[in-house]
């Protein structure tokens, strides 16, 4: 699943079409007025009040092709270049005034609203690792940053939200934001525990474990039981470790 930084990079990649008239495809008949991201959503706004809303899902990509050379199901043509969207069917044109994405504060947005994040987080009684992937609470985190932020802070991923202080929840947001910003700058994210099942933890050398977690959209969680231990008597839930 793309992380928030990959959407920011995609928005930068298609900047050459800003101000251009759209000759065919999504938003045909208007000029491109602005491009923005919200969490894992890409929004291309037309001067006529319409917006192209793209959610990349698990495998979606956005690239720029020479004018007239773009090929695929979703191609937005302009005199400067073609915007090609592939690997996802979540592409729609809507009135900008009607866009309601239901997202929490965007970690890569301007003016991050920490109070809104905490209010949304406290509305759910579930493991912190599940909460971090809920875009209704905090927008922009994917499976890589979820695992790496929890590991960086030596946080038990199975601890429930009610067990964590506001300070701890804010620390997780700060670390995740720092990782995503670094991803924007370098195009890379840390991989100390992500997809490292069975390998020694870089910090304590305990073998990394993984298991599926979550009910709405189960995802594989990676963590170190040595430096992210559960509280005494608490057993991680969510399936068998592999």
Calculated CA dihedral for residues 12, 34, 41, 37, nearest 10 degrees: 60
Q: Which of 92-106, 136-150, 218-232 has the highest mean pLDDT?
A: 136-150
Q: What is the pLDDT of residues 37-89, one digit of tens each?
A: 999 899 999 999 999 999 987 788 899 999 999 998 899 999 999 999 998 87
Map out the domains of the chain with their CATH numbers. Answer: 4-98 (3.20.190.10), 114-223 (1.10.8.50)
Q: Compute the distance between CA of residue 43 and CA of residue 36 in angstroms, rounded to an integer.
A: 5
CA distance 52 to 54: 6
Q: What are the helix (H) ranges across the chain?
A: 4-13, 114-122, 128-131, 143-152, 166-186
- State both tokens at 125: 């009684």
Is the pTM for the entire model greater than 0.85? yes
CA distance 176 to 47: 34
| Spatial distance between the Cα atoms of 65 and 77, rounded to a whole number of angstroms | 9
Q: Is the pLDDT of residue 231 over 90?
A: no
115-131 pLDDT tens trace: 999 999 999 889 999 99
Percent of the chain surpassing pLDDT 70: 95
Residue 233 has pLDDT above 80, yes or no: no
Res 74: pLDDT: 93
Q: In this predicted structure, what is the pLDDT of residue 241?
A: 36
């Amino acid at each position: 699943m793309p992380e928030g930084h990959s959407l920011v990079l995609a928005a930068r990649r298609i900047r050459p079409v800003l101000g251009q008239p759209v000759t065919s495809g999504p938003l045909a008949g208007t000029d491109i007025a602005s491009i923005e991201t919200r969490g894992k959503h890409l929004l291309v706004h037309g001067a006529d009040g319409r917006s192209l809303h793209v959610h990349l899902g698990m495998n979606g990509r956005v690239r720029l092709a020479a004018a007239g050379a773009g090929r695929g199901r979703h191609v937005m043509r302009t005199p400067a270049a073609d915007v090609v969207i592939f690997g996802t069917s979540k592409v729609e044109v809507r009135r900008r005034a009607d866009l309601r994405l239901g997202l929490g504060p965007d970690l890569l947005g301007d003016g991050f609203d920490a109070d809104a994040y905490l209010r949304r987080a406290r509305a759910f009684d579930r493991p912190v690792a599940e909460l971090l992937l809920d875009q209704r609470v905090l927008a922009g985190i994917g499976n890589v940053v979820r695992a790496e932020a929890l590991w960086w802070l030596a946080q038990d991923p199975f601890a429930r939200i009610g067990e964590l202080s506001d300070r701890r929840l804010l620390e997780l947001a700060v670390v995740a934001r720092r990782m995503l910003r670094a991803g924007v700058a370098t195009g890379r994210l840390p991989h100390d525990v992500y997809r490292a099942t069975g390998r020694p933890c870089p910090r304590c050398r305990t073998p990394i474990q993984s298991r599926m977690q979550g009910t709405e959209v189960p995802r594989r969680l990676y963590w170190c039981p040595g430096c992210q231990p559960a509280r005494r008597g608490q057993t991680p839930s969510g399936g068998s470790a592999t």
